[in-house]
Structure 1
Amino acid sequence: MADLAPGAPLTVGFDLDMTLLDTRPGIKATYDAIAAETGVWIDSALAVTRLGPPLEVELAHWFPEERITEVADRYRAMYPHTAVPACLPLPGAREAVEAVRARGGRAVVVTGKHGPNARLHLDHVGIGVDALAGSVWAQEKGAVLRAEGASVYVGDHLGDITGARAADALAVAVATGPFGAEALREAGADVVLDDLTAFPEWLESHLLGEPTRSR
């Protein structure tokens, strides 16, 4: 687990879906539109309980392998119109990003979502970040976080904990996604927060060198 070296710039990574933003309504609408267009039934209510892994992982539950690339491309083309307008910041999201920047740090988003669509989401809700990397998942996130010099990664999914571990970064989990606090702790999160409203206070304590603890 990486500690912030004295004098080193602070960089905090954030996941997007169900960490910074509630994207479920728009994603559900996009799956419903894909189902209507293709004639293939998709349980969109179930699909939005499994956000985190790449789109292709979810599509594999509903389409044969030879159609996944085609359907994924169509989904991503629809997405700006069906999903982006419906997204909402989760409680504390703006304040969490601002807390990093107020302390002279960089806030970066590292997400499994298609990068251009992730950017549209952030622009739509008015959350500015210093860097964005899309289409990376689990251990792949670790390489991006290392390249960005992130010492903290904040996410809601077990795959985000894996990504933080791969980067030797502090794994801060928020219980706003598919996993509860206990499951996140059992998966190895260093810190578990109910949501991002607790993040600025935790960050202040972390930077003061106080013992890492959940809130």
Structure 2
Amino acid sequence: MLWNVDHTLVDVTIVLRDAYAAAFREVTGRPLVRLAPARGRPDSEVIFETLALNGVVAEDDHLPAFTEALARAFADRRDRIAEQGRAMPGAREALAAVARLEGTVQSVLTGTIRSNAVLMLGAFGLDEHIDVEVGGYGEEVYPKATLIQVARRRAEARYGVPFPASATVLVGDSTRDVQAARFGGVAMIAVASGGSTAAELAEAGADVVLDDLCDTEWLVAAVTRLTSPAGHVAG
């Protein structure tokens, strides 16, 4: 089970925007005027677009420098994450409910860089049932669809058992997440808690669309159905 983090499990928009502004100033020496919207994209894409929107010509060292500065800026604000952010409704209960499914490993597939994703989850006690070692993160060079395969291979190496695409579910809140699931050949549970509407998520091809994560019984039933031989969409 692979979870998107931002706007699926947590919402830390205020702190993250502030960290981006601090990182931008550190890297460019200028104040941030416009921050590119995430829309399910990895931090690497957001960084490049943010530079362009603010009239900065990206150079080879900009991405690693910005990524490192963003990690430091967010870590410096770790005490504000729980104060100014929130766990999404039902997130904690959903993770606990899925953890009770026999043989299930939960990790993340997120556009957020790893250090920030770990801080986000930990701030709200959502890391108890998640193995962050086998996830896919925003600083990695692979597109999200490929990161699904990377995460599956990492889980197989760590746990010594196969995790086929047919037994993998991605949970996310954007149409980009849905597209990644389709290309990656895994089932998709979409949550209309981010920038994409329920109609947009359904049209993009999500197998299941939820308003939130509060109905854990329905979530578990959906996971079970989608990972059964008869319930999974071929891919």
| TM class, shorter-length | 0.7 to 0.9
Tell me if the contact between 1:25 and 1:83 (Cα under 8 Å) persists in the aligned partners.
Answer: no
Larger relative strand fraction = 1
Asked whether 1:202 is paired with 2:201, we answer no
Structure 1 residue 60: Cα displacement: 1.8
Percent identity between the two aligned chains:
27
| Partner residue, 1:129 | 129
Q: Structure 2 counterpart of 1:99, which letter?
A: A
DSSP-derived class of the 1:192 partner: strand
- Give 1:178 deviation, angstroms: 1.2
1:189, CA displacement in angstroms? Answer: 0.7
Query: Are positions 1:177 and 2:183 aligned together?
Result: no
Q: Is the 8 A contact 1:14 1:107 kept in 2?
A: yes
Q: Cα deviations across residues 35-77 of structure 1 (Å, max 9, x unaligned)?
A: 5542143324xx4x42531222122223221134322321122
Aligned to 2:98: 100
| Structure 1 residues 206 and 59: CA distance shift in structure 2, 3 A | closer
Deviation at 1:85, TM superposition (A): 3.2
- SS of the equivalent of 1:178 reads coil
Aligned pair 1:52/2:40, yes or no?
Answer: yes
**1:141 aligned partner:** 147
Q: Among 56, 65, 88, which residue is 2:58 paired with?
A: 65
Contact 1:40 1:62 in 2 (8 A): no
Amino acid at match of 2:194: G
- What is the TM-score with the length of structure 2 in the denominator? 0.73
The answer as to whether partners of 1:15 and 1:155 remain within 8 angstroms in 2 is: yes
Q: Which whole-Å CA distance do the structure 1 matches of 2:180 and 2:169 have between them? A: 11
Amino acid corresponding to residue 149 of structure 2 in structure 1: A
Tell me whether 1:75 sits opposite 2:81 in the alignment.
Answer: no
- Give the superposed CA RMSD: 2.5
Q: How many residues align?
A: 198
Please give the TM-score of this superposition, normalised by the length of structure 1.
0.79
1:63-109: CA deviations, max 9, x gaps? 22113432232112211123673232100100110111122332211
1:24 aligns with 2:13: yes
**Which residue of structure 2 lines up, in the alignment, with residue 192 of structure 1?**
209
Q: 1:55 to 1:192 in 2, by over 3 A?
A: same
Per the TM alignment, residue 145 of structure 1 is displaced from its structure 2 partner at its CA by: 4.5
The DSSP-based 3-state class of the residue aligned with 1:153 is strand
- Contact map agreement 2:109 2:144 (CA 8 A) in 1: no
Are 1:91 and 2:89 matched, yes or no?
Answer: yes
**Structure 2 runs not aligned, ≥5 long:** 52-56, 156-162
SS at match of 2:40: coil
Q: Name the residue aligned to 1:120.
A: 119
